[in-house]
Amino acid sequence: MLPGLINAHSHAFQRTLRGRTEWREASTPENFWSWRTQMYRVAGALDPDGLRIAARLAFTEMVLAGITTVGEFHYLHRDRAGRPFTDPNEMGWQLRAAAEEVGIRLVLLRVAYRRGNHRAALEGPQRRFDSGEVDRFFEESQALASRSSSDLFRVGVAPHSVRALSAGDLAEVVRFGRARGWAIHMHLAEQPGEVSACLEEHGRRPAELCADLGILGPDFTAVHAIECLPHEVAELGKARANVCACPTTERNLGDRAVPAQGFLDAGATLSVGTDSQVQIDLLEDAREVELNLRLTLGQRMVLGPVRRYPGALAALLFDVASVGGSKSLGVSSGALVPGAAADFFTMDLADPSIAEADDDALLSSIVFGGSPRAVRDVAVRGRFVVRDGHHPITARAVAEFARLQDTLWS
Ligand SMILES: [Zn+2]
């Protein structure tokens, strides 16, 4: 029995892209930006039903893999024509409904998004992401939060990135969230192009800008903190900020590895997210935080201080996938301690992926080789949502998702 895994960064709708972007569209090299064009096509096509169906399948796959809390970074605010829905939180409610059906704990990180970049307004599918003037964004975020009476649903704020907001809006959104004790998440620096655009606009790199604006803190999570120089790593560490790595997505998109060792040494807290849902296996994300650095540096055992007992590195990586995520999302889950939520899962010790591991090797076997197939029972706030490896809505979720994919891709 293990504490439930915490998925700190998810875009549920991108589950529709799995397997659909693994081919070459042009003779020029494919990269993050060409993938984004493909992603925008789906982002432009989903209606509220489609979002709920995609999210329900993604959330089902998450609980089947031992994930009990998801932080959903939500920016599909408007309808397909870029107009606000009658209820501006229409799409947010669809995500909440999907989470309730599946039984997963949801932290809905409502994204503030105002511009393509400092030179370009929102255009095409991006017009769906428009969160409006900050005052309206605050009102609508508050409306989402005020209708929540359950600790299975919370709201946070997410200034999308230094690209999508002016410095003034960025600082205001953070002030708003911080005053309410909400989690604050932001895409920091996934690609070199984002850093050069930030330098052009502000004369500073993304983490430098955030430090100057005073927005770093223990309630702040930098997602994709990849293109960070050592002094930026130090700033995030000094602020005791959170850093969310999404290695299965980052390797798929040709981003680079998060400099996790630097962040840990500097005092930041690491967490992980399934992000684009190219895979939903949070232990794979956790192990990749270490393994990507092994490939980059040509050495083994990169993370953590010298600890001469088996399982020390596995314990560190398991914390990244559990308590690290709970700090990032501000939830009382991720550890089996008195007072915490009863979010936990069990693994079948006879599953071939972890079979015959003795006590010394068990946690390392789970973290470095455990398969989601070995997950048996999953409980969220003490209620079992998965029993014996099965979730009751799986067949229906899969069938409806298949119909959705037919309409999206035919
Ligand atoms: Zn993201």
Per-residue pLDDT of the chain (410 residues; tens, 9 = 90+): 999 999 999 999 999 999 988 888 777 788 888 889 888 888 899 999 999 999 999 999 999 999 999 999 999 999 999 999 999 999 999 999 999 999 999 999 999 999 999 999 999 989 999 999 999 999 999 999 998 768 899 999 999 999 999 999 999 999 999 999 999 999 999 889 999 999 999 999 999 999 999 999 999 999 999 999 999 999 999 999 999 999 999 999 999 999 999 999 999 999 999 999 999 999 999 999 999 999 999 999 999 877 778 889 999 999 999 999 999 999 999 899 998 999 999 999 999 999 988 888 999 999 999 999 999 999 999 999 999 999 999 999 999 999 999 999 98
Cα(375) to ligand 1 centroid in Å equals 26
Q: How far apart are the C-alpha atoms of 337 and 201, rounded to whole Å?
A: 47
Cα(107) to ligand 1 centroid in Å equals 14
Give the pLDDT confidence score for residue 26 in this predicted structure: 75
The values of phi and psi at residue 197, to 5°, are -65, -40
Give the pLDDT confidence score for residue 271 in this predicted structure: 98
3-state secondary structure of 403: helix
Cα(43) to ligand 1 centroid in Å equals 13
Neighbour tally for 139: CB within 10 Å? 12
**Token representation of residue 313:** 């590195």
Query: Where does residue 41 rank: exposed (0-12), middle (13-18), buried (19+ CB within 10 A)?
Result: middle
Helix 134-146 / helix 167-179 crossing angle, nearest 10 deg: 30
**Token representation of residue 186:** 């932001």
Does an H or E element contain 7, and which? strand 5-10
Cα(220) to ligand 1 centroid in Å equals 15
Query: Any idea what DSSP says for residue 83?
Result: P
Cα(289) to ligand 1 centroid in Å equals 17
**Nearest Cα to 244, choosing from 109, 91, 371?**
109
Neighbour tally for 396: CB within 10 Å? 14
Longest CA–CA separation in the chain, Å? 60
The predicted-structure confidence for 169-193, as pLDDT tens digits, reads as follows: 999 999 999 999 999 999 999 889 9
* Catalytic residue flag (residue 275): yes
Give the pLDDT confidence score for residue 48 in this predicted structure: 97
Asked whether the CA dihedral 361, 366, 370, 373 is positive or negative, the reply is positive
Going by C-beta distance under 8 Å and a sequence separation of 6 or more, which residues neighbour residue 226?
Answer: 188, 189, 190, 191, 250, 255, 256, 257, 258, 259
The predicted-structure confidence for 308-326, as pLDDT tens digits, reads as follows: 788 899 999 999 999 999 9
Give the pLDDT confidence score for residue 252 in this predicted structure: 92
Task: Point out the catalytic residue in the list 130, 169, 255, 275.
Answer: 275
Q: How far apart are the C-alpha atoms of 65 and 277, rounded to whole Å?
A: 13
**Token representation of residue 142:** 């508050």
Cα(152) to ligand 1 centroid in Å equals 22
* Catalytic residue flag (residue 49): no
Going by C-beta distance under 8 Å and a sequence separation of 6 or more, which residues neighbour residue 198?
Answer: 162, 163, 189, 204, 205, 206, 209
3-state secondary structure of 150: coil
**Token representation of residue 42:** 């789906």
Task: Point out the catalytic residue in the list 169, 224, 281, 285.
Answer: 224
Query: Any idea what DSSP says for residue 75?
Result: -
Cα(186) to ligand 1 centroid in Å equals 8
Cα(9) to ligand 1 centroid in Å equals 6
